Structure 1
Amino acid sequence: MNRIVLRILAWLLVTAVAIFTLSPIELRPMTGAPADFERLAAFALVGGMFCLAYPRHRIAIVLFLIGVAGLLEVMQHIVPGRHGRSHDFAVKAVAVVTGSILTILIERITTRTSSEPVASQDVS
């Protein structure tokens, strides 16, 4: 996929997460899954998408996204009915790292697999 498209998708995704994080709780989409799983999935996806979009800046991206997670938790204190918690921040930070690592591993495996020569079969 084109890097420009990946970058647009990454920024749209982090923007959506920020909007849902800072909107009143009744406007937040509910999947029925535990809140920690929703946080984990969202931030793992954000981390993975940013690592695909900015492959030369992965460490900086992970640090930036951990900072975004912390900032969103702090900003929740100004939204009525919302509250930032250190536990939520920890889940989000771990998710960013996990999503980034998984994306890098999958990328390396698929790149290695697609670049390996196909073994010729002897049909004698």
Structure 2
Amino acid sequence: MFRKLIILAAWCVLGFIIFATMSPVGMRPGTGSAGIERFLAYGLLGTLFVMAYPQHFLRVITLVLVVASALELLQHLTPDRHGHIADAGEKIAGGVAGASIARLAQLLLRAEA
């Protein structure tokens, strides 16, 4: 049951990231520094997907790369948004960091057992 909740949370976070990235600027939720928000959002995404699919670390990394890059490119199709390579870099760094920390925790917990 817990794993199903983690899977649901991972996909919900992905949906929220897509909404926040593609919605008009006025609808975008914000808490302060956009760079930190991007890093943390994708860090959570990477963490949750590694927890949801622990045997698919490289696929999770690929998902983070594809989603971050695709959403930055898709922003060029909206009238009030614009994608930047630096933004994609922050997102990718956050996703890889979150996924890596989650994977390291899994390996350490497995070694203790």
TM-score normalized by structure 2?
A: 0.91
CA RMSD of aligned residues (A): 1.4
Amino acid paired to 1:4: K
* Offset at residue 5 of structure 1 (A): 1.5
Gaps of 5+ in 2: none
Match of 1:14 in 2: 14
| Pairing 1:32-51 to 2, within 5 Å after superposition | 32=32, 34-51=33-50
- What do the CA deviations read for 1:51-80 (whole angstroms, capped 9, x no partner)? 000001111111122101100001111111
Secondary structure of the corresponding residue to residue 55 of structure 2:
helix
Which one-letter code corresponds to 1:24 in the other structure?
P
Q: How many residues end up aligned between the 2 structures?
A: 113
1:37-76 paired onto structure 2 within 5 Å: 37-76=36-75
**Based on CA coordinates, which of the two structures has the bigger radius of gyration?**
1
TM norm structure 1: 0.84
Instruction: Write out per-residue CA displacement over residues 62-119 of structure 1, whole angstroms, 9 at most, x where no aligned residue.
Output: 1122101100001111111100001001111111110111112233344555x3xxxx
For 1:69 and 1:39, locate their aligned partners in 2 and report how far apart those are by CA, in whole Å. 10
Identical pairs, percent: 33
For structure 1, which runs of at least 5 residues remain unmatched after alignment?
A: 116-124
- Whichever residue aligns with residue 87 of structure 2, its letter is D
